[in-house]
Amino acid sequence: MKSVKITYFVHGTTTDNLSRRSTGWLPGELSELGIKQSEELKNLANLDNFDAIFCSDLKRAIDSAYLNFGKNTQIIQDERLRECNYGDLNGMSSDQVIDEDHVSRPFPNGESLLDVEKRIRSFCGFLLDNYNEKHIAIVAHKAPQLAFEVITQGKSWEQALSDDWRKRGGVWQPGWNYELK
């Protein structure tokens, strides 16, 4: 039976996060806090035991990944790990981006959370076919992490959104562990 262990890291805090904007598919910039968080992750988690490291191809995730793992580390960028495309709402106030309203209905000129799940399922299939019995690190965003909750934990999107650590007082941790089978 195929199996892949995943440790999932979210990118550091961005300037958009601080100004309560939902960056979506825009590149995004790490804030001073986000740079510090990404650099300090090395002290909070064992970052030496991965067979491969993947990240979203959006700038904020790429920057975090290199700050986490070092400039000379091979990090594989994959667009399937991008944040949800909020379409017309990319870069807009987070008050306008209501994930619960877009589980199956795409954001205007964007995608739905089910679309994100489809991307992540494709990525999971790739991992199972190419990284069987390996331990993979991922640096990416909120919606892909919630998709991993749906895929690996059997949660509904409604449950994943309800359980999201960002809504429970922001209880961040240095990596979330998942297993694909």
Residues 26 and 108: their CA atoms lie apart, in Å, by 15
Inter-axis angle of helices 32-44 and 59-69, nearest 10: 40
Strand partners, 76: 54
Residues 110 and 86: their CA atoms lie apart, in Å, by 5
Residues 137 and 76: their CA atoms lie apart, in Å, by 10
pLDDT for 119 equals: 98
Sketch out the chain's domains with CATH numbers: 4-180 (3.40.50.1240)
Spatial strand order of the sheet with 4-10 comes to 76-77, 52-55, 135-140, 4-10, 176-180
Alpha helix ranges (H) inside 49-171: 59-69, 113-130, 142-153, 157-163
pLDDT for 174 equals: 78
On whether the pTM is more than 0.75, the answer is yes
Cβ atoms of 54 and 79 within 8 Å: the answer is no
Residues 71 and 69: their CA atoms lie apart, in Å, by 7
Each residue's pLDDT tens digit, 43-94: 888 888 899 999 999 999 999 999 999 988 999 999 999 999 999 999 999 9
Q: Which residues of the chain have pLDDT under 70?
A: 169-172
Q: How far apart are the first and last CA of the chain?
A: 7
3-state helix, strand, coil in the chain (%, to 5): 45, 15, 40
56's CB contacts (< 8 A; 6+ apart) are 11, 62, 77, 78, 79, 81, 82, 83, 139, 140, 141, 144
